[in-house]
Amino acid sequence: MSEVHSHPGGLKMRGLHRDCKDPIDPGRGRAAFRRFAYDVKTGECRSFIWGGCDANRNNFETLEECQSKCEHGRTHCSIA
């Protein structure tokens, strides 16, 4: 069964890819790589600075990669 996720404005979504559910995590390290992650609070991908170590699954090299996996293909099922 698909998980249901709250979305801003009371919209609920099904089928959010598991890679998009992890929190945005800058990781450890002294590097400053620009990466992109899905923000479940806004329902959009955004940039953040990653330190270079200990990435979780919500860490994409490009905005397009993040959007393709996390913003497209979502199924809106109801309004709360």
Q: pTM of the prediction? A: 0.72
Helix-strand-coil split of the chain, %, nearest 5: 20, 35, 45
Between residues 74 and 17, the one the model is more confident about: 17
State the residue range of the domain holding 26.
4-79
- Sorting pLDDT into bands at 50, 70 and 90, what band is 74? low
Between residues 79 and 45, the one the model is more confident about: 45
CATH number where 42 lies: 4.10.410.10
List pLDDT tens digits, range 11-44. 445 689 999 999 999 999 999 999 999 999 999 9
pLDDT at 2: 37
Q: How many domains does the chain have?
A: 1
Query: Are 48 and 24 within 8 A, CB to CB?
Result: yes
9 Cα distance to chain centroid: 18
